[in-house]
Structure 1
């Protein structure tokens, strides 16, 4: 009988606490996601000749914590076949009186011949895996080099941080 009385008292106390809730606490609704610059509207510094540019991946993030979202966009020439190199760009809001987002920073230049995968952001850091080629003889469809890199917002700028090359540790 003692155990039944103790269990009933504990259940009543738990139910009362759940019903009353914590005093003075109020749940705030989660902040609405902030839209960053439209990557499809940007004018990228890439010469694709007769081909257009394709945005292959993008993400919106407030890198500097100022409440204004930036967009990081991965693009390449729309060559129709093969594996064209990517460019990775940081986009900011259009300048006053303009409609297109501004390319504020080139993170990866297509001239470097890299392709990209695993674009991600967390807090003030953007990360990506770079895929490359050890020589011109390596087929463009089979990159034989890879390196994970990130850019971290530090002291008012994005600082590049490269992970050690695979197999070097």
Structure 2
């Protein structure tokens, strides 16, 4: 009779105590993993240096520089967005006199409100009503004001019939609004 090369070991035979010990260890690992959770990932998170929790300035109570006589100025279009990168939105308002007849020209104004001031204030005029323009579209995109307006090629064109349609873009740079024509804009 040959002797086995390796003697038989007592612990290689499974007994109920072994299964009980394995089940207990597995239950402990599962319970511990449900209690110990990894911290939230932070590698992809960024912190905005200018949180946008501020609200845009309201247009009510603003003394717009329009000569309207007995009628009041009327805000006909407005858009909001952060134009100067300070984290607080500005309001851009197209305003004209609330006339019952004709199409009064619009003024295009920028309103801002500082964090420490309770009231908005007018800081810029982008279109003066004297230019005889009527704003038909107004948006803020990527920190720039975009407007489409109707106007007149000369003073001889009657007010009823604007013959020019144009687009304009204003961007805040070096403490002033710089006016340009957006790419792809067409004048009729």
Q: When the two structures are superposed, what TM-score results if normalisation uses the length of structure 1?
A: 0.72
Could you tell me how far apart the structure 2 residues matched to 1:141 and 1:156 are?
A: 37
Give the corresponding residue for 2:66.
Answer: 46
Stretches of structure 2 that go unaligned for 5 or more consecutive residues are 1-40
Q: Which moved more, 1:135-144 or 1:42-51?
A: 135-144
| CA deviation string 1:110-139 (max 9, x = no partner) | 011111111011121001012112345534
Larger strand share, 1 or 2: 1
Distance, in Å, in 2 between the alignment partners of 1:114 and 1:161 is 16
Q: RMSD over aligned Cα, in angstroms?
A: 3.1
What secondary structure, in the 3-state scheme, does the structure 2 residue paired with 1:41 have? coil
- The Cα shift of 1:95 comes to 9.9
Match of 2:101 among 61, 65, 81: 81
Aligned to 1:134: 153
Name the residue aligned to 1:115. Answer: 134
Question: 1:149 aligned to 2:171?
Answer: no
What is the alpha-carbon distance in structure 2 between the residues aligned to residue 134 and residue 46 of structure 1? 23
Q: Which runs of 4+ in 1 moved over 4 A?
A: 23-28, 94-97
Q: How does 1:30-69 map to 2 (within 5 A)?
A: 34-69=54-89
2:120 equivalent in structure 1: 101
Contact 1:42 1:100 in 2 (8 A): no
How many angstroms apart in 1 are the aligned matches of 2:88 and 2:42? 31
Counterpart pick for 2:177 among 149, 158, 162? 158
| TM-score, reference length from structure 2 | 0.65
Kindly name which structure, 1 or 2, has the bigger radius of gyration based on alpha carbons. 2
**Structure 1 equivalent of residue 90 of structure 2:** 70
